[in-house]
Amino acid sequence: MSHTFTRRELYELVWSEPMKTLSGRFGLSDVGLAKACRKANIPRPPRGYWAKLRAGKRVLQVALPDRGPGMANKVEIAKGRNHYYHRSCSKEEILNSNPQPPVFEDDIEDVASRVRKTVRRVPVLRIPDRAHHHIQRLLDEYEARRQKQLQSRYPSSWDKPLFADRFEKRRLRILNAIITALAKAGMKPYIRGQDGRELGVQVNDTTVCYTLDATSQKSDPYAPCRRSAIETRGPSNKLRCAIERGGYPSGTRLSWEDTDKEKLESHLTDIVVKMIVSGERQYREYQQRHYEWLVERKTNLIEEIRRQKEEAEQRERERLAALEKARVDRLLRDAQALRQAEEIRAYVATVRARWEVNRSSVSEDQLNSWSRWALNQADQIDPMRSGQFANCMEGTDATDGCGES
């Protein structure tokens, strides 16, 4: 079972009772609960806090820090999971919810101002002397492929050296400066792919993707990077860094590139700051989209329930109408059957009366036998005699008691 709290609610909980006691309520260890607090930047009581409090000594409660850029304001606590995400909601949860538009305490410019204070000037570091471990991994893999290329009798173009030309070396230096600064700011940058073209940074709980490549690639930043496209650019191609817009609609949020007056290196500090701030922007945009989705989904569900109710009521009206029609049809058939029974009885009485006048046509035994048979048929047809006429008023289905006699 999972429990979802806002950062403020979880902060007040962890300062209300010891972590071991609190974690037991959630089926977690105190280590797991501490990990959740640490991820959400929620301070915990220091060692000895509760003993001092019981002894009546003065203790200090650390204030809850501001939510970091891109950090979720909600934390889900569950065994084996202590993060927050918008899981799929059931229809009942959505119908019982009261969606409220997201409210953020700080303006985005205030967030940007705080980030600028934490990010100092971003220098371009030497490689490999001061390479970030992601860059070092790329270089190590590159060297292994280069050696394989040299030793192979049938070298593959996939293993052809990439980071040897001037353009790629400069690109690696800039990329190394960016991810080093992001890591110092507490973010988690990543590089994927052997060409180092899949770039992103985890800004707390939000992932921001970006590109760093030649300006010739800016027309389609999402297209798979082909080695042939990389090789044909030439060492004099200009560099461009672009922060991609997460979610919908996709596209480029911000971009910088080399110009005749200044190089991309002069924008590195601004790039790092904007990447972190983009995490907050992306988080806020997602919260707004999720709110709008909840409102729309709840409206649609209410409309769906209303439509289903109307359809059910219409089906019930049609069922009752069919039942009433079947009853009327049966009533008409019973009335006709009663007339037929009366006509048979009258016919039998007329035949017997005429036989009394002229007995020469048939014998009395024959007349009596025929009369009994005819009157028996009349009794079977007569709904009054059998009591079938009242059956149409019973049952709830249109066919209950309203079939043929």
pLDDT tens track for 196-233: 889 999 999 999 999 999 887 654 444 544 444 455 45
CA distances from 335 to 282, 339, 384, 393 (A): 78, 6, 10, 15
Q: How far apart are CA 239 and CA 242, in angstroms?
A: 10
CA distances from 238 to 128, 218, 219, 241, 374 (A): 23, 11, 14, 10, 112
Q: Name the band, by pLDDT with cuts 50, 70 and 90, for residue 237.
A: confident
CA distances from 23 to 3, 82, 142 (A): 12, 12, 47
Radius of gyration, alpha carbons of the chain: 43
Q: How far apart are CA 69 and CA 108, in angstroms?
A: 10
Which residues have C-beta within 8 Å of that of residue 163, sequence separation ≥ 6?
A: 138, 139, 142, 169, 172
Mean pLDDT, the chain, rounded, equals 86
Which residues does residue 198 pair with via DSSP β-bridges, in sequence order? 192
Q: What is the pLDDT of residues 335-390, one digit of tens each?
A: 999 999 999 999 999 999 988 888 777 888 998 999 999 999 999 998 888 777 77
Which residues have C-beta within 8 Å of that of residue 181, sequence separation ≥ 6?
A: 119, 122, 268, 269, 272
| Contact yes or no for 352/374 (Cβ under 8 A) | no
Q: How far apart are CA 108 and CA 188, in angstroms?
A: 21
Which residues have C-beta within 8 Å of that of residue 404, sequence separation ≥ 6?
A: 333
Q: Does residue 289 register a pLDDT over 90?
A: yes
Closest alpha carbon to 222 in 239, 203, 202, 197: 197
Q: What is the pLDDT of residues 26-60, one digit of tens each?
A: 888 888 889 889 999 999 999 999 999 999 999 99
For residue 252, the surrounding DSSP H or E stretch is: strand 251-257
Q: Does residue 61 register a pLDDT over 80?
A: yes
Provide the Cα torsion 289, 294, 296, 298; round to 10°: 180
Q: What is the mean pLDDT of residues 167-196?
A: 92
Backbone angles phi, psi at 48, to 5 degrees: 90, 0
Q: How far apart are CA 243 and CA 208, in angstroms?
A: 7
Q: How far apart are CA 298 and CA 300, in angstroms?
A: 5
